[in-house]
C-alpha cells in the first residue's frame, strides 16, 4: 500500500492554464481606484491645500509671488463688516431653505408616489428645475423678478394686491426672500426624489398593517412613514443644505450681493474679494469658512446612511 | 367575542376586468370557526382574505361581518386583525411598541394600553422580548409578535395570510400546533390562507379549496380528502394525489393508500394487475410507482403501502392488487365534477 502511494505521479498543472493579470484582485482594485484618486487629488486636495496656503500669503492676481504674512489676511477679513453679514446670510439662507426644502419636498414626494392619470408628465415637470443649469435658471428668475418688467409684479398689480412694483431684488429683505425662494425652487425636486425613494422602499405590508391597526393618514405619516424614511429625509436635508451653503451662482446672478452688499454669502463674497478684487489671500480666508460646516454635513450624511443600513 | 363572516357572490377584477381574481365566491364562516382557504398560488385566496380585511374593495358582491355589510368601510372599523406572511412588524419600534400600536386609536390611558400589551405578550410567551427590535428576533419570535399585535385589540376576526411559510420546516410543525391551541383558547373566528395542504388539513375546522378565483369545495378536512368535489380537489389534496383512471367517459379515482395487494383489501373489491416500475421509501411507507390495468385504460398510478403491509413487491414484475369498492370515486371526464358510480368488475374478497 505504502509503495503504491509513493508512486503517485506529481500533480500536473492544467494544460495552458495560467493566471492572468486581470485575474488578480489586488491589481484590479488599484486600476479601478486610480481615476477616483487622481480626481480627488487634482480637483479637491490640491485646491484645498492651495487655499490654506494662500490664506497665509500676500498673493494677489497682480503679484503672484508667495510671501508669508501670517494671520494678516484673517485680521483684515474680520475687520470687514461685509464678511460678518455674508457669514450670517449664509446661515440664514441655508437654514430657512433647508426647512422649506424638506417640508415641500416631503409633500411633493407624496404627490409623486400617488397613483393618478398622467403622473409621468407631472414627475417630468417636477424634475425640470433640478435639471436646468443653475446659471440659466437664475437668469430666468432675474427676469421674473425684474424691478420694472417683472411678470410677477404685473400679475399682482392686475389682481389688485399691490399698487406699485415690489422691487424684489432692490430691497434687502425681499432680495433675501427671493434668493431663498429660488434655492427652494431648484432644490425641492431633488429632495422630493430622494424622499420618494424612501417612501417607495417601505414594504406595502407595513403600510397595510398600519391601516389594519387603525392608524389614519397622519398617524401613518408620523409614526410609520417618517421614522422609516428618516435617514433619507436627513440625506435630502443635508444635500439641500450643502447646495445652498456652497452656492454662489444664485446670489451672484440675482443680486450680485446687493443692494449694498446686504445679500452676500461666503461663496459670493470670497469670489468678489478674491477674483473680482484680485486679493487671493483674503478670498482664500473667506472660502475656508465653508469647510467646517461641509465637514459636519459630510459626517452627518455618512451617519444617516449607516443608520439606513441597520433598519 | 366571535362573529360570523360571510361573502356573497363576491367578484374582484384587476386590470380593468382582464383578471378575475375572485370569481363569484359565496361562503359563510361560522362563529368561532377556523376556516382555511387553500389553493395553489394565484388562485385568489389572498385576494379574498384582503377583501374581507378591507384592503381591497370588491368589484361586486358583499362582505358581511357579524351580519352587517362592510363594503367600502376601511379596515379599522371592521374590527379585523391580520397577520401578514412577512409579519409586517414596524422595524423601528420595539416589540412592546409594536403590540401597543393598534390600541392607540382606542384612547385608553397609557398604563392600561401597556398592561394589555403585556397580557398579550405573556399569552404568547414573548414577555421577555418586549424591549427588542424586530430585527433582533428569530422567525418564530416575529410570528408571535405579529400574533400578539393582532390579538391585543380583541378583534372580531383573525385573518392570517400564510403566517407559517417563513418558518423552517421543524419550527412550522410546532408553530402549527401552537396556533391551533391558541385559536381554541381565544375562540375567535379565524380565516387562514395557505397553499400547504398539511397546514390546511391540520388546522381547519373546514377547508375552502379555491382555484382560478372559484370556490371548488367547502367542507371539513375529512370530507375534502375522502369525497373531493372534482378532479382538481382530488389531485390538489393528498400527497401523492388521488389516482384517476379513465373508463368510458368517466374517471375512476382512488387514493394511493387504497391500492393494496389483494389479500389486504377488505370487502368487495376491484382487482387490477399492477406492473411496478419503481419504489420509494418515505417515512416507513412504500410509495410504489407503476402501471395499473384492469380498472380502465392502462394508467400510471402510485400506491402507498403502509409499514404494516410487508408483502414483497419487486420492480419490473406485475402483482395482483385491488381497491375496495367503497373507496372508489367517480368523476365526469369532461367537467371533472363528481358523477354517478359506474360498474367496474367487482370481485368479492
ipTM of the prediction: 0.81
Locate CATH 3.40.50.300 in chain B: 5-226
**Average pLDDT of span B18-22:** 86
Q: How confident is the model at residue A6 (pLDDT cuts 50, 70, 90)?
A: low
Residues of B in contact with A201 (CB under 8 A): none
Contact A205 B149 (CB under 8 A): no
Instruction: Please give the model's pTM, rounded to 2 decimal places.
Output: 0.78
Contact B91 A311 (CB under 8 A): yes
Chain A nearest-CA residue for B50: A208
B47-70 pLDDT tens trace: 999 999 999 999 999 999 998 999
- What does the pLDDT read at residue B1? 58
pLDDT at A12 over 70: no
Give the residue from A198, A206, A211, A214 with the most B CB atoms within 10 Å of its CB, the best one to mutate.
A214
Give the residue from B49, B55, B113, B159 with the most A CB atoms within 10 Å of its CB, the best one to mutate.
B55
Q: How far apart are CA B158 and CA B183, in angstroms?
A: 9
Contact A212 B76 (CB under 8 A): yes
Contact A205 B86 (CB under 8 A): yes
Residues of A in contact with B136 (CB under 8 A): none
Q: How confident is the model at residue B76 (pLDDT cuts 50, 70, 90)?
A: confident
Locate CATH 2.40.50.140 in chain B: 241-348
Q: How many helices (H) and strands (E) does chain A have?
A: 16, 0
Give the nearest partner residue to B76 out of A205, A211, A310, using CB atoms.
Answer: A211
Contact A209 B82 (CB under 8 A): yes
Give the nearest partner residue to B88 out of A206, A215, A227, using CB atoms.
Answer: A206
CB atoms near residue B217 (< 10 Å): 23
- Going by C-alpha positions, the residue among B153, B150, B155, B144 that lies closest to residue B104 is B153
φ and ψ at residue B208, rounded to 5 degrees: -110, 115
Residues of B in contact with A205 (CB under 8 A): 84-86, 88
Contact B104 A215 (CB under 8 A): yes
C-alpha A143: how far from its chain's center? 25
- What does the pLDDT read at residue A297? 82
Residue B138 grid cell: 428569530
- Average pLDDT of chain A, as a whole number: 85
Shortest Cα–Cα distance, A309 to chain B (Å): 12
Q: How far apart are CA A242 and CA B228, in angstroms?
A: 68
Is the preceding peptide bond at A278 cis, omega within 30 degrees of 0?
A: no
**CA distance to A87, A93, A120, A169, per residue, from A173 (Å):** 16, 12, 38, 9
Chain A nearest-CA residue for B91: A311
Contact B92 A228 (CB under 8 A): yes
* Domain residue ranges of chain A, discontinuous segments joined by +: 80-310
Shortest Cα–Cα distance, B344 to chain A (Å): 53
As a whole-number percent, the residues of chain B with pLDDT over 90 amount to: 56
Choose between B235 and A25: higher pLDDT.
B235
Give the nearest partner residue to A203 out of B76, B86, B102, using CB atoms.
Answer: B86
**Does the CB of A10 have a partner CB in chain B at under 8 Å?**
no
Residues of B in contact with A208 (CB under 8 A): 55, 82, 84, 88
Question: What count of CB pairs under 8 Å joins A to B?
Answer: 63
**Average pLDDT of span A83-88:** 90
**Does the CB of A213 have a partner CB in chain B at under 8 Å?**
yes
Shortest Cα–Cα distance, B14 to chain A (Å): 15
Q: How confident is the model at residue A154 (pLDDT cuts 50, 70, 90)?
A: confident
B111-146 pLDDT tens trace: 989 998 998 888 888 889 999 999 999 888 898 899
Q: How confident is the model at residue A279 (pLDDT cuts 50, 70, 90)?
A: confident
Is the preceding peptide bond at B94 cis, omega within 30 degrees of 0?
A: no
Residue A51 grid cell: 487655499
Give the nearest partner residue to A212 out of B53, B89, B135, using CB atoms.
Answer: B53
Shortest Cα–Cα distance, B176 to chain A (Å): 22
Q: How far apart are CA A32 and CA A27, in angstroms?
A: 9
Residues of A in contact with B80 (CB under 8 A): 212
Residues of A in contact with B85 (CB under 8 A): 205
- What does the pLDDT read at residue B349? 47
φ and ψ at residue A298, rounded to 5 degrees: -60, -45
As a whole-number percent, the residues of chain A with pLDDT over 90 amount to: 21
Superfamily of domain B241-348: Nucleic acid-binding proteins (2.40.50.140)
- Average pLDDT of chain B, as a whole number: 90
CATH class, domain A80-310, is: mainly alpha
B273, β-bridge pairs: B293, B320
Shortest Cα–Cα distance, B92 to chain A (Å): 7
- What does the pLDDT read at residue A1? 44
Q: Does domain B5-226 have CATH number 3.60.15.10?
A: no
As a whole-number percent, the residues of chain A with pLDDT over 70 amount to: 93
Shortest Cα–Cα distance, A221 to chain B (Å): 13
Shortest Cα–Cα distance, B91 to chain A (Å): 7
**Average pLDDT of span B256-261:** 94
- What does the pLDDT read at residue B127? 87
**CA distance to A86, A169, A204, A277, per residue, from A77 (Å):** 11, 26, 55, 13
Q: How far apart are CA A191 and CA A249, in angstroms?
A: 20
Q: How far apart are CA A88 and CA B300, in angstroms?
A: 87
Shortest Cα–Cα distance, A222 to chain B (Å): 12
**Average pLDDT of span A5-31:** 72
Give the nearest partner residue to B76 out of A214, A228, A311, using CB atoms.
Answer: A214
SS3 B243: strand
- What does the pLDDT read at residue A118? 84
| C-alpha torsion sign, points B75, B80, B83, B89 | positive
Amino acid at each position: 500500500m505504502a509503495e503504491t502511494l509513493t508512486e503517485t505521479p506529481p500533480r500536473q498543472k492544467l494544460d495552458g492554464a495560467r493566471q492572468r493579470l486581470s485575474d488578480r484582485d489586488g491589481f484590479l482594485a488599484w486600476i479601478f481606484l486610480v481615476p477616483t484618486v487622481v480626481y480627488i487629488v487634482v480637483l479637491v486636495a490640491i485646491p484645498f491645500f492651495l487655499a490654506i496656503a494662500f490664506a497665509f500669503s500676500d498673493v494677489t492676481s497682480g503679484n503672484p509671488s508667495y510671501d508669508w504674512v501670517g494671520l494678516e489676511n484673517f485680521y483684515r477679513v474680520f475687520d470687514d463688516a461685509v464678511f460678518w453679514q455674508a457669514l450670517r446670510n449664509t446661515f440664514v439662507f441655508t437654514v430657512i431653505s433647508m426647512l422649506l426644502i424638506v417640508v415641500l419636498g416631503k409633500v411633493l414626494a407624496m404627490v409623486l408616489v400617488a397613483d393618478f392619470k398622467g403622473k409621468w408628465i407631472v414627475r417630468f415637470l417636477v424634475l425640470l428645475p433640478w435639471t436646468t443649469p443653475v446659471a440659466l435658471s437664475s437668469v430666468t428668475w432675474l427676469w421674473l423678478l425684474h424691478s420694472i418688467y417683472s411678470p410677477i409684479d404685473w400679475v399682482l398689480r392686475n389682481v389688485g394686491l399691490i399698487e406699485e412694483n415690489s422691487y424684489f431684488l432692490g430691497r434687502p429683505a425681499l432680495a433675501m426672500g427671493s434668493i431663498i425662494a429660488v434655492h427652494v425652487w431648484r432644490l425641492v425636486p431633488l429632495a422630493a426624489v430622494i424622499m420618494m425613494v424612501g417612501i417607495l422602499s417601505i414594504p406595502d405590508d407595513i403600510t397595510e398593517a398600519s391601516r389594519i391597526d387603525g392608524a389614519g393618514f397622519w398617524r401613518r405619516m408620523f409614526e410609520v412613514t417618517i421614522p422609516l424614511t428618516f435617514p433619507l429625509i436627513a440625506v435630502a436635508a443635508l444635500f439641500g443644505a450643502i447646495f445652498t451653503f456652497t452656492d454662489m451662482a444664485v446670489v451672484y446672478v440675482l443680486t450680485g450681493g446687493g443692494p449694498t452688499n446686504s445679500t452676500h454669502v461666503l461663496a459670493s463674497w470670497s469670489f468678489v474679494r478674491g477674483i473680482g478684487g484680485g486679493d487671493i489671500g483674503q478670498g482664500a480666508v473667506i472660502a475656508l469658512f465653508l469647510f467646517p460646516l461641509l465637514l459636519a454635513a459630510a459626517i452627518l450624511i455618512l451617519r444617516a446612511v449607516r443608520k439606513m443600513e441597520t433598519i | 367575542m366571535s362573529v360570523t363572516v360571510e361573502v356573497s357572490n363576491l367578484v374582484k377584477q384587476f386590470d380593468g376586468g382582464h383578471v378575475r381574481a375572485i370569481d363569484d365566491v359565496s361562503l359563510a364562516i361560522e362563529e368561532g370557526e377556523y376556516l382555511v382557504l387553500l389553493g395553489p398560488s394565484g388562485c385568489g385566496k389572498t385576494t379574498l382574505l384582503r377583501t374581507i380585511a378591507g384592503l381591497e374593495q370588491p368589484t361586486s358582491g358583499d362582505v358581511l361581518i357579524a351580519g352587517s355589510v362592510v363594503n367600502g368601510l376601511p379596515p379599522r372599523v371592521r374590527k379585523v386583525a391580520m397577520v401578514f406572511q412577512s409579519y409586517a412588524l414596524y422595524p423601528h419600534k420595539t416589540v412592546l411598541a409594536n403590540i401597543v400600536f393598534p390600541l392607540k386609536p382606542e384612547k385608553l390611558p397609557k398604563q392600561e394600553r401597556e398592561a394589555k400589551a403585556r397580557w398579550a405578550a405573556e399569552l404568547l410567551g414573548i414577555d421577555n422580548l418586549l424591549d427588542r427590535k424586530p430585527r433582533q428576533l428569530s422567525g418564530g419570535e416575529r410570528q408571535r409578535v405579529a400574533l400578539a399585535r393582532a390579538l391585543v385589540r380583541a378583534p372580531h376576526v383573525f385573518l392570517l395570510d400564510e403566517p407559517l411559510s417563513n418558518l423552517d420546516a421543524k419550527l412550522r410543525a410546532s408553530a402549527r400546533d401552537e396556533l391551533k391551541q391558541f385559536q381554541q383558547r381565544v375562540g375567535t373566528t379565524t380565516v387562514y390562507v395557505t397553499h400547504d395542504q398539511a397546514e390546511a388539513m391540520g388546522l381547519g375546522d373546514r377547508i375552502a379549496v379555491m382555484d382560478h378565483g372559484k370556490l371548488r369545495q367547502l367542507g371539513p378536512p375529512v370530507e375534502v380528502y375522502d369525497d373531493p368535489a372534482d378532479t382538481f380537489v382530488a389531485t390538489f389534496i393528498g400527497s401523492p394525489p388521488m389516482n384517476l383512471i379513465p373508463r368510458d367517459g368517466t374517471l375512476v379515482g382512488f387514493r394511493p393508500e387504497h391500492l393494496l395487494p389483494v389479500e389486504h383489501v377488505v370487502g368487495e373489491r376491484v382487482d387490477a394487475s399492477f406492473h411496478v416500475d419503481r419504489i420509494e421509501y418515505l417515512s416507513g411507507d412504500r410509495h410504489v410507482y407503476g402501471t395499473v390495468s384492469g380498472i380502465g385504460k392502462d394508467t400510471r398510478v402510485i400506491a402507498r403501502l403502509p409499514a404494516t403491509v410487508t408483502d414483497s413487491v419487486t420492480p419490473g414484475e406485475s402483482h395482483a392488487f385491488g381497491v375496495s369498492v367503497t373507496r372508489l370515486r367517480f368523476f365526469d371526464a369532461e367537467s371533472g365534477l363528481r358523477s354517478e358510480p359506474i360498474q367496474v368488475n367487482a370481485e368479492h374478497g
